[in-house]
Amino acid sequence: GQQVMQIPQYQHVQEGEDFTTYCNSSTTLSNIQWYKQRPGGHPVFLIQLVKSGEVKKQKRLTFQFGEAKKNSSLHITATQTTDVGTYFCAGINYQLIWGAGTKLIIKP
């Protein structure tokens, strides 16, 4: 069946370092969404990307959708403790097809 692969599974960073997570689909997606889930919380919708090659920014977060609409990335610049959580991509073909998530961990 259709799959969305997301890497890495975990990323440990020092506060102030950058963070990136990548998603890759086996098939072309109509669009892709990104969610953040804080520890003990629920997924919160961040953004949807629709167009081929689209780049959107939300403050320190940059989201990209590949030209072939099969891959996407989320980049966080200068991480802060408030960024801690698991970031999920979810491709859309009728329903959400979730990536496995990338857990952002800030090193003490």
Partner 1 sequence: DTEVTQTPKHLVMGMTNKKSLKCEQHMGHRAMYWYKQKAKKPPELMFVYSYEKLSINESVPSRFSPECPNSSLLNLHLHALQPEDSALYLCASRQGFGYTFGSGTRLTVV
Binding site for partner 1 (CB under 8 A): 31, 33, 35, 41-45, 48, 88, 90, 92, 95-96, 98-101
Report the C-alpha gap between 69 and 25 in whole angstroms. Answer: 8
Look at strands 102-106 and 10-13 and give their pairing. Answer: parallel
Q: Which is nearer to partner 1, 19 or 35 (CB)?
A: 35
As measured in angstroms, the least distance from the Cβ of 45 to partner 1 is 4
Q: Which is nearer to partner 1, 66 or 101 (CB)?
A: 101
As measured in angstroms, the least distance from the Cβ of 8 to partner 1 is 14
The long-range contacts involving 57-64, CB below 8 angstroms and separated by at least 24 positions, are 63/34
Report the C-alpha gap between 29 and 41 in whole angstroms. Answer: 27
Q: Which is nearer to partner 1, 4 or 76 (CB)?
A: 4
